[in-house]
Amino acid sequence: MFHNSFYLFICIFITTILAISPKEGINSDPTKQYLVTNLPGLNNIDDDYKPLMYSGQLELFPENNTNYYFWKFIDSKKSDLNNKRTIFWLNGGPGCSSMDGALLEIGPFRINKDKQVTLNNGTWHKSGDIIFVDQPAGTGFSYTDQDKYLHDLDDMAFYFLKFMEKYYEVFPQDLENDIYLAGESYAGQYIPYIADYIIKRNQNLKEDEQDKTYKLKGLLIGNGWVSPNEQSLSYLPFFIENKLIDSSHPKILELLNQQEQCQKIIDKIDNHFNDDEINPAEIDSSICEGILTKLLEYTLNQSANDDQKCINMYDYTLRDSWPYCGMNWPMELKYVNPFLNDNDVKHDLNLKQLRTWHECTGRVSRNFNARHSFPSVHKIPDLVKHIPIILFNGANDIICNSQGVMQYLMKLEWNGQIGFENKDSQLDWIHDNSKVGSYLQERNITFINIYNSSHMVPYDLPDVSRALIDLITDNYDEKENQIITYPLGVHRKGVEQEEDQHSLEETEEQPTQSNSTTTTTDSITSSSSSSSTTSTTTTEEPTSNKITRLIQLAVIVIVIWGIYILYASYRSRPSSIIKKSTTNKKKNVQWADQLDTFEEDIEENLHKDEGGFITKAFNKISGKTNNNKLNPNYVPLDDFIIGSDDEDTPEPPKPPPKNYDKKDNNNNNDDVNNSV
Ligand SMILES: *[C@@H]1O[C@H](CO)[C@@H](O)[C@H](O)[C@H]1NC(C)=O
Ligand SMILES: *[C@@H]1O[C@H](CO)[C@@H](O)[C@H](O)[C@H]1NC(C)=O
Ligand SMILES: CC(=O)N[C@H]1CO[C@H](CO)[C@@H](O)[C@@H]1O
């Protein structure tokens, strides 16, 4: 018997090793075709920050040639703290590329004038894998057959779930990770719909499919466009409060009149908020949104230089030329465009179709009218029964300003009550020793107003925006009237920095669940000296990690085997180990079964580890409001927006591009930064 068990063990052990090894080889790795190994300027990036990257166009539906582009960034020096998060980031529009998020906001790179990547040290990829997705099809590097553009939010969410399915086919290890959806602007419409679809999908999984659950843990919506008309009602008060218009202005009566019309529409909506049918008043927001158009026009400074005439609608402290009023902002956009349209870069990013990249694609927004979709504010109450939502707002933004967000929240009923109970008891948010904003949290909704930042908070304050991840994962301290977060790598008091080597034992680690305090830095005193390079404990190379794990595995297996042998030699009847076993034969089979289970655990652990250095990401959506939809009613000038269908023409070898750079000749505003 001893010998039999011994050989059985040897066989199983060797089988285990054989089964595990091929997965370590890169040869059979389906992710390989998406690996990004080169980019202009990449060699100048500090090794600590140089991410592991995957990028490419994933086919969703071959029948209509729908392919979604994604770009994923993983911390190549990952500590366990961020091992288990996948953050999808979406920009808005509709039709604006999430490359804004990647290259102007939360990603590790910014682009300089030499078309090279430079470091953004406030990058989110050190707090979780971030994945940027261009969607719906036609946006950025994503594409589809010409007549397959999406129109409504339900279709959008359905397609996004399809993208996730394809994504997890390529990166199955990521199924282990917690998922966060984050984004900006019109993504305030996308994200709640996608979250709703994920939750319903999980609920419909069969018993034996539970390992396919998408572990959605929270939503982060920045300057979100969630309740369109309600938010438009805030424009006039916002202008007055920030002294952008004077109450003695000759047009003030006209503006008040339109404000009143908008208020009537909102009353109508309020009275029918819980109807099953979509209220037409809620879908058409032209009257309410028109208020902003007029405000921008009536506050023109005719005597200023051309590039200073109009208030920047994404940051009221800035100016832009008329009629762009912010669409030329941020300045670095003019570097991003040539960078992404460089053919070498497109090859580096593994594009199979070399499309021309536009920040925002007019054809997508023209098609995406959301006429058959409830605005996403209707989804919020159900969502917060399941997950927390952080709504954060750059305080200088006009188009999706904080007042408007607070306004719709104060009317909304969620988790048993209407609005915030203690609206006026906001806490101060202290990040890295500075007061960066105000914080209000009740019943799974957190509202954060972030000072000195625009519509694109991470553009202005990348490190502050990164700390939002700490807020949604409970890595913060609370005392008196303050919420306190720390620079990267510093954890809340009472939380130990986790060592990489602990990871095998830790299965469901949450940073906040550790209890010892030994290595915590007192960030209040160490302050700014702790640059983010001090962040994590020393991490080993992934390969040596694996060898270590394999050795650990071998040791564990041998120990267990030893215990078994010991046990077996003291007891003739194995049934005490193995329930229900009656005969020796049966025993052996069951013993093998148990070992199998054990192997699965180990394999799972290896997978987790692999997931660690293989993938995680977040998609960001930043968008443009309906204000920038190509409806001439909304825009200040007749020729404000000239639609061009040629913008979507793929580059050669497809049909000869007729005039896809028409923009340069014809002032085609479809392509300028008109994101909400
Ligand atoms: C808030 O979200 C959590 C999940 O993070 C959930 O368990 C809880 O029930 C929610 N709270 C309320 C009041 O619904
Ligand atoms: C990031 O870079 C900025 C500008 O160079 C610098 O002021 C800041 O201290 C850096 N932050 C960290 C966390 O390294
Ligand atoms: C530099 C700057 O603009 N600082 C401002 C940041 O926000 C606070 C609160 O609104 C202002 O008091 C500061 O002046």
Angle (CA) 615-616-617 rounded to 5° is 135
Helices 584-614 and 2-24, axial angle in degrees (round to 10)? 20
Whole-number Å distance between alpha carbons of 604 and 504: 11
Q: Decide if pLDDT at 675 tops 50.
A: no
Q: For residues 93 and 621, is the Cβ–Cβ distance under 8 A?
A: yes
Q: For residues 418 and 451, is the Cβ–Cβ distance under 8 A?
A: no
How does pLDDT run across 390-409, given as a tens digit for each residue?
A: 999 999 999 999 999 999 99
Residues at CB less than 6 angstroms from ligand 3 = 451-452
Q: Are strands 52-61 and 35-36 parallel, antiparallel or unpaired?
A: antiparallel
Tell me the three state secondary structure of residue 132: strand
Q: Decide if pLDDT at 647 tops 70.
A: no
Q: For residues 603 and 610, is the Cβ–Cβ distance under 8 A?
A: no
Distances (CA, A) of 228 to 257, 322, 623: 19, 24, 13
CB atoms within 10 A of CB 382: 13
Q: Are strands 389-394 and 445-450 parallel, antiparallel or unpaired?
A: parallel
Distance from the alpha carbon of residue 283 to the mean position of ligand 1, in angstroms: 30
Closest ligand 3 atom to Cα of 451 = 7
Q: For a substitution probing ligand 2, which of 126, 432, 531 has the most ligand atoms within 8 Å of its CB?
A: 531
Whole-number Å distance between alpha carbons of 63 and 66: 8
Distance from the alpha carbon of residue 441 to the mean position of ligand 1, in angstroms: 13
Lowest mean pLDDT among 5-19, 229-243, 328-342, 581-595: 581-595
What is the structure's pLDDT at 628?
35
Tokens 């640059």 locate to 531
> Per the residue annotation, which of 125, 358, 455, 607 is the catalytic one?
455
Whole-number Å distance between alpha carbons of 344 and 557: 49
What is the structure's pLDDT at 44?
94
Whole-number Å distance between alpha carbons of 611 and 172: 8
Angle (CA) 382-195-199 rounded to 5° is 70
Q: Decide if pLDDT at 577 tops 50.
A: no
Q: How confident is the model at residue 279 (pLDDT cuts 50, 70, 90)?
A: confident
Residue type, 284: D
> Per the residue annotation, which of 55, 185, 232, 503 is the catalytic one?
185
Tell me the three state secondary structure of residue 118: strand
Active site residue 397: yes
Distance from the alpha carbon of residue 383 to the mean position of ligand 1, in angstroms: 9
Looking at ligand 1, which residue's alpha carbon is closest to its atom 5?
Answer: 387
Distance from the alpha carbon of residue 444 to the mean position of ligand 3, in angstroms: 28
**Secondary structure (H, E, C), 412-453:** CEECCEECCCCCCCCEEEEECCEEEEEEEEECCEEEEEECCC
Q: Decide if pLDDT at 57 tops 90.
A: yes
How does pLDDT run across 408-418, given as a tens digit for each residue?
A: 999 999 999 99
- Ligand nearest the Cα atom of residue 472: 1
Q: For residues 285 and 228, is the Cβ–Cβ distance under 8 A?
A: yes
What is the structure's pLDDT at 424?
86
Alpha helices in 530-583 (DSSP H): 542-570
E strand or H helix at 462, and its extent?
helix 462-472
* Rg of the chain on CA atoms, in Å: 27
Tokens 């966060």 locate to 180
Instruction: Enumerate the β-bridge partners of residue 403.
Output: none
Going by C-alpha positions, the residue among 179, 173, 137 that lies closest to residue 30 is: 173
How does pLDDT run across 497-527, given as a tens digit for each residue?
A: 443 333 334 433 344 333 333 333 333 333 3
Closest ligand 2 atom to Cα of 488 = 13
Q: How confident is the model at residue 82 (pLDDT cuts 50, 70, 90)?
A: low
What is the structure's pLDDT at 343?
96
Residues at CB less than 6 angstroms from ligand 1 = 385, 387-388, 415, 443-444
Contacts of 676 (CB under 8 A, 6+ apart): 92, 93, 185, 186, 223, 225, 399, 400, 455, 622, 623, 624, 625, 626, 627, 628
Distance from the alpha carbon of residue 309 to the mean position of ligand 3, in angstroms: 24
Lowest mean pLDDT among 47-56, 474-483, 559-568: 559-568
Greatest CA separation found in the chain?
Answer: 100
Looking at ligand 3, which residue's alpha carbon is closest to its atom 1?
Answer: 452
Residues at CB less than 6 angstroms from ligand 2 = 121, 463, 487, 531-532
